[in-house]
Amino acid sequence: MTYSNIDTYNSSIVINWYDNLGDLTNIEKHIFERYQPLIKNAKLLDIGIGGGRTTNYLHTRCLYYIGVDYSQGFVNLTKNKFPTLDIRCLDARNLSVFSDNSFDFINFSFNGIDYVNLKDREIIFSEIYRLLKPNGIFFFSTHNMSHDTFNKRAWQNPNTSFFINLKTFLKLIPFEFTHQLQKRKELYTSDFAIINDSAHNYKLLTFYTTPSFLYKQLMKFKFSNIQFFLKSGSHSREDKLDDWIFCTCEKSIF
Ligand SMILES: C[S@@+](CC[C@H](N)C(=O)[O-])C[C@H]1O[C@@H](n2cnc3c(N)ncnc32)[C@H](O)[C@@H]1O
């Protein structure tokens, strides 16, 4: 059996996993604090909210919060946690319910943008650009294809110990058949790849890209002031990034 990404994000195992996810990461705290003067008066759109990890932090710190996710399961979960908030079941590829120049800040956390193909990713970039007000900020992360862990088996991670790799191997081996089936849908190019990594026991196809291609894509959609960050929160050059690229960019009107 093969899985579509939306089916995986609607499955109860995955929903329970995100339900119990912890606090914000260092880089998220760093960026939200840095933009707090903007956020405090912002109409903020949080895309791909999952179990409401970012909702919990952001909704008290902005003027008006809207959270969206294309998984009805996640929307139900987060709506239950925050019954008074504006939480909607919407796909980032079609945000036509919102008019142009509506939001001061848009967040798409935890690589949520990586679960569509190239064409749809470009639709999402163009939708986000359309929805941002002039000088509005988009913050997101994406998988880094130029990192040395790209496309290595999860248990061959050079940055973790032998015992952790062994534990990972034993956990994943029962799902090897699923992986072999899902692998048939992979796609590799020099700029990006769509691969079946081990996340959620091989039940997702995930977009990975190079920092330089990401930069070019964002420029193509007219974003400016594009900045890349490490997980620690430090600013970084394109060639020194972690396995996840954290990015802020802006809708500047020249
Ligand atoms: C990796 S999870 C992250 C969840 C949450 N943002 C967090 O940080 O805990 C990605 C989320 O993005 C959502 N998602 C993926 N593609 C989407 C799309 N095209 N439109 C809306 N939501 C999407 C998934 O349903 C899932 O909730």
Q: Are 143 and 208 in contact (CB under 8 A)?
A: yes
Q: What is the pLDDT of residues 114-170, one digit of tens each?
A: 999 999 999 999 999 999 999 999 999 999 999 989 989 999 988 889 999 999 999
Q: What is the pLDDT of residues 64-75, one digit of tens each?
A: 999 999 999 999
Q: What is the pLDDT of residues 28-54, one digit of tens each?
A: 999 999 999 999 999 999 999 999 999
| 53 CB near ligand 1 (under 6 Å) | yes
Helix (H, G, I), strand (E, B) or coil at 99: coil
Q: Phi/psi of residue 35, each to 5°?
A: -95, 15
| 21 CB near ligand 1 (under 6 Å) | yes
Cβ neighbors of 213 (< 8 A, separation 6 or more) are 191, 192
Q: Are 142 and 244 in contact (CB under 8 A)?
A: yes
| Residue 157: predicted pLDDT | 85
User: Which numbered atom of ligand 1 lies nearest the CA of 124?
Assistant: 19
What token pair was written down for 145?
């294809």
Q: Are 214 and 238 in contact (CB under 8 A)?
A: no
| Residue 3: predicted pLDDT | 86
| Residue 104: predicted pLDDT | 98
Q: What is the mean pLDDT of residues 235-243?
A: 80
Q: Are 46 and 113 in contact (CB under 8 A)?
A: no
CA of 190 to the centre of ligand 1 (A): 26
Q: Phi/psi of residue 189, each to 5°?
A: -135, 175
Atom 6 in ligand 1: residue holding the nearest Cα:
49
Class of domain 5-144+207-250: alpha beta
Picking from 135, 102, 109, the residue whose alpha carbon sits closest to that of residue 55 is 109
Q: What is the mean pLDDT of residues 99-106?
A: 98
Cβ neighbors of 215 (< 8 A, separation 6 or more) are 226, 238
Lowest model confidence (mean pLDDT) among 40-54, 165-179, 208-222, 235-249: 235-249
Q: What is the pLDDT of residues 157-205, one digit of tens each?
A: 888 899 999 999 999 999 999 999 999 999 999 999 999 999 999 999 9
